[in-house]
Amino acid sequence: MQQAVRSRAELGHGPPSTALSRAPRIRSLIDADALRVLHRSARVLLNNLPELTDRLVAALREREPAYRSTLESDPVGTWQEVHRSLRHSVSSLLDPRGARDAALRCSSKIGASRAEQGLPLDALLHAFRLGGSLIWQSLVEETSRTAPEDVRLLVHVAADVWNFVDEHCTLVADVYRKVERQHAWRQEHRVRLLTAALLDGTSRIADVAETAEALDLPEQGRYAVIAVAGGRQAGRTSVPGAVVPAGARVYWHTGVEVDHCIVLVGDGDGGEDEPTVGLTAPAGTRVGVGPVVAGLAAVGDARRLADMALSMCADDGGTVRLTEQLPAALVMSCPELGGALAERVLGPLLRLEPSDRDILLDTLAAWLDCDGSAQRAGARLYCHRNTVLNRLKRCEQLTGRSLARPADMVEFSLALTARRLLRDM
């Protein structure tokens, strides 16, 4: 009876406690044999590493198109990289704990360098998986050659081998994406600095070609700059793209208070007009459009003129095209002279009582806006045309100028513009 119990226990059919107590022992023996087989084959692979490297390089050339140009441009460097990676991988099979950190550093370095070079991530991961497949295949081949009966034992370490490959693929992908993000940030920062210098007019001549390449804009094109402000939500311009005509080739540069849009008007030397067709602005947004300039190097001047147009916009929004406000632009270009003109021409009116002053200045401005029509000016001011004429006559008497004289009319117009614009500054 006791003999029968021992037989059943040996077969695993005895009491549960007896069978379970033997299972870990059987498993540990199998694992030890599997590791012995793995280490024996791995040592052979380590001794034949140059041949293994040649096989993986050939596989990359045949099965991964993205590596072909790399192999052509730097065959020695690529071979050495593959050789190092395989050496660390095989060494990790022999000494997982001792070789792990060095293997991870090697894979991390490869991921970073390939990201800098622009090799596609999919191609890089494919290369690592090809390397894992080659190592596994070589382990099986070596074991089959020297001890065919031990091949079945490799199944017990297969998961460890592929877990190693997955760990390194995950690491490589993480490092690659990190470097890619850093590279994108550096590129974006570089483009922003180049654009800021271009808009400020501080670009060196040698930098213009680099800026043109970075912005993908022709160096000799014709450009206008649009300045946009107001209509902001959470510190951003609301729908900035809506300002620019559909289909226009543009580059936006955001600022703290004002955003600037560089608009390519034309590639050649033609006389294209400023981008006005389809130009719209969201409610509350102020838009200043500068005149067209020739060449990317002149964008700084275009930005300054766009800012001048922006300064003429009403506080509640609207669009001002500088080419339609050139007299006002002349005044704004030199505020000191504009102020002196306003004082010289309008001084006697400005020193009147505020109520009297404002009536005369408003009447003069309305008459000029209505092309010298007292009838239309009266309708705008809700008074009779004779009242308009009487007020104009008083303006002439106080200033010593005549509205019948073209030169005096020009001075009146510019002086009123200077007073309006400089008062808002």
Largest Cα separation within the chain, whole Å, is 141
Instruction: Dig out the tokens for 28 from the structure.
Output: 């540990």
Instruction: Dig out the tokens for 16 from the structure.
Output: 């549960």
Write out the H or E segment, with its range, that includes residue 224.
strand 222-230
The pTM of the whole model exceeds 0.85: no
Question: What 3-state DSSP class applies to 267?
Answer: coil
Ramachandran bin of 390, using left for φ above 0, alpha for ψ from -120 to 50, beta for the remaining angles: alpha
Residue indicated by tokens 């071979």: 79
CA gap 178, 138 in Å, rounded: 33
The pLDDT profile of the chain, 425 residues, written as one tens digit per residue, is 333 333 333 333 333 333 333 434 444 556 788 889 999 999 999 999 999 999 999 999 999 999 988 898 999 999 999 999 999 999 999 998 899 999 999 999 999 999 999 999 999 999 999 999 999 999 999 999 999 999 999 888 888 889 999 999 999 999 999 999 999 898 889 989 999 999 999 988 888 988 998 888 899 989 999 999 986 543 334 444 445 555 668 888 988 889 999 999 876 555 555 555 456 667 788 899 999 999 999 999 999 999 989 988 888 888 888 888 888 888 778 888 888 888 999 999 999 999 999 999 999 999 999 999 999 999 999 999 999 999 999 999 999 999 999 989 888 988 998 888 777 55
Angle between helices 16-47 and 121-146 (to 10 degrees): 100
Which among 352, 353, 370, 357 has a CA at the least distance from the CA of 413? 370
Angle, alpha carbons 176-180-182 (nearest 5°) = 120
Residue 251: the pLDDT is: 87
Question: What 3-state DSSP class applies to 103?
Answer: helix
318 bridge partner residues: 286
Which residues are within 8 A (CB) of 306 and not within 5 positions of it... i.e. 6 or more apart?
A: 224, 225, 226, 227, 260, 288, 289, 290, 322
Residue 176: the pLDDT is: 95
Residue 329: the pLDDT is: 81
Write out the H or E segment, with its range, that includes residue 236.
strand 236-237
- Per the document, the length of the chain is 425
Which among 38, 242, 306, 308 has a CA at the least distance from the CA of 147? 38
Residue 300: the pLDDT is: 93
Cβ(56)–Cβ(130) below 8 Å: yes
CA gap 241, 245 in Å, rounded: 8
**What superfamily would CATH give domain 333-424?**
PucR C-terminal helix-turn-helix domain (1.10.10.2840)
Pairing status of strand 259-266 against strand 222-230: antiparallel
Residue 423: the pLDDT is: 72
CA gap 96, 290 in Å, rounded: 67
DSSP strand E in 61-143: where? none
Instruction: Dig out the tokens for 99 from the structure.
Output: 């070789």
CA gap 48, 139 in Å, rounded: 12
Other CB atoms within a 10 A radius of the CB of residue 305 amount to 23
Angle between helices 49-63 and 66-73 (to 10 degrees): 130
**194-199 contacts at long range (C-beta below 8 A, 24 or more positions apart):** 195/251, 195/253, 195/262, 196/253, 198/262, 198/296, 198/299, 198/300, 199/225, 199/253, 199/260, 199/262, 199/299, 199/300, 199/303
Residue 332: the pLDDT is: 77
Residue 84: the pLDDT is: 95
All structural domains of the chain with their residue ranges? 16-181, 216-323, 333-424
Instruction: Dig out the tokens for 406 from the structure.
Output: 């073209």
Ramachandran bin of 372, using left for φ above 0, alpha for ψ from -120 to 50, beta for the remaining angles: left
Ramachandran bin of 318, using left for φ above 0, alpha for ψ from -120 to 50, beta for the remaining angles: left
Residue 19: the pLDDT is: 35
CATH (residue range 16-181)? 1.10.490
Question: What 3-state DSSP class applies to 119?
Answer: coil
